[in-house]
Structure 1
Amino acid sequence: MADFTQHDLSGSTFQQVDLTGARFEHVDLSGARMEGVAFNGAVLHGVDLIDVDIKADIERLTINGVDVGPLITAELDRRHPGRVLMRPTDADGFRTAWDTVEELWTGTVDTARALDPALLHESVDGEWSFIETLRHLAFATDAWVRRALLGDPSPWHPLDLPWDQMPDTPGVPRDRSVRPTLNEALALREDRMATVRAYVDGLTDEDLDRKTEPVEGPGWPPPVSFPVREPLLIVLNEEWEHRLYAERDLATLTP
């Protein structure tokens, strides 16, 4: 195994690197930027967490003996009252959640329409542009609803945009250079949102625990069987989080 004792690696880039089980002692990570990094099962003792910004999926995170996950969830729910609706447990709850998604995104799109169209292709702090966000949400719907739930092995639209770290997959588009207009991106987006609407409108409580049929062929997700509720919860989470990111970045772009 590699040994980096007393090495100066400041400014280095680690991309698609496996550090599972690695040991860090007296390491300076000040100013480091980490995206798409897994800390599952990590142990951090004697660390300084000062002026640190963490955006993460958090479960069973213990800091100084306190499980902070429930505290963070409660505070985010307090700040964003609609957030709790994104964790429905029955069919009516999923319909209410999608009602909320549609209503909130209508306001966000109205904000975007008021901006110079060129700004909708601008990245803020390295994040997706507004147009790219719409394209990614179309991909999420295609992956988790049209493929995983409806069984279409190749539901992709040329404007679909997977997450950046997804390996190139035959048949799955990933064109970061194309610059569709807002109306073009919204046409795809509205079609995919209508697909979700039709699905949840026909949903029953009994459906939620029914297992999907694995979908063979290249694409995402892999050929695995899911309880119906799982892909739907993933879509709700994608919709909720990416709208918050979009609102944040639109506020930065607003003159």
Structure 2
Amino acid sequence: MRPTTPDGFREAHAITERLWADTLTRARRLDPALLHTSVEGEWSFIDTLRHMVFVTDCWVRRAIQRQPAPWHPLALPWEQMPDIPGVPRDRTAQPPLETVLALREDRAAGVRSLLAGLTAEQLDIDTPAVEAPGWPPPKSFPVRKCLLVLLNEEWHHRLYAERDLAILEAG
């Protein structure tokens, strides 16, 4: 999960998508109500997926693609993030799994499209700053860093989801 080339980023993203597909197969075997259950004070499975929508909205749609306010209303920032006008923060929403998966697929398709045309030169440039309040902050970021943040979040949050599914399965 530390790619250095465009092909490496494409392969790493494909790996995370395959791993998440296995995790989703596992989650679908559970009672849908359990997917909204917090495990040991952590996010529910669906909250984790909502957070991954937020991550993609931030680091791909905002930082790389320069959309000033890309966040879907169901996107979920991390718990300690300060309130920022315009950034969603509905911790009480309990959307169905399929609704959140449709958002995830939309975001994943956007990432696949971005990565399909990614060149080595593009990896090494800094994004122009988005001049609007939000997250990430309105400043420039290396494209490589944005994509590494995305991959890191995908990798680790899937591991958290797997851990929590094991607890839910055990009852």
**TM superposition score normalised by structure 2:** 0.98
* 2:38 corresponds to 1:123: yes
Q: Secondary structure at the match of 2:101?
A: helix
Aligned equivalents of 2:127, 2:94: Cα separation in 1:
35
CA deviation map 1:179-219 (0-9, x unaligned): 10000110111111111111111101111111100001111
What amino acid is aligned across from residue 109 of structure 2 in structure 1?
A
Aligned equivalents of 1:207, 1:217: Cα separation in 2:
23
**TM superposition score normalised by structure 1:** 0.66
Which residue of the other structure, out of 1, 4, 10, is the alignment partner of 1:95?
A: 10
Q: In percent, how many aligned pairs have the same letter?
A: 66
* 1:214 matched residue in structure 2: 129
CA deviation map 1:157-192 (0-9, x unaligned): 110000011111111111011110000110111111
Aligned equivalents of 1:193, 1:224: Cα separation in 2:
24
CA deviation map 1:67-124 (0-9, x unaligned): xxxxxxxxxxxxxxxxxxx100111100000110110000000001000001000011
**Structure 2: gaps (5+ residues):** none
Please identify the structure whose Cα radius of gyration is greater: 1
CA deviation map 1:224-253 (0-9, x unaligned): 111110000000000000000000000110
Aligned equivalents of 2:6, 2:24: Cα separation in 1:
27
Pick 1 or 2: higher relative contact order, CA cutoff 8 A, min separation 6. 2
Give me the CA root mean square deviation.
0.7
Paired residues, what number?
170
Structure 1 residue runs of 4 or more that deviate by more than 2 Å after TM superposition: none
Q: Secondary structure at the match of 1:254?
A: helix
* 1:234 matched residue in structure 2: 149
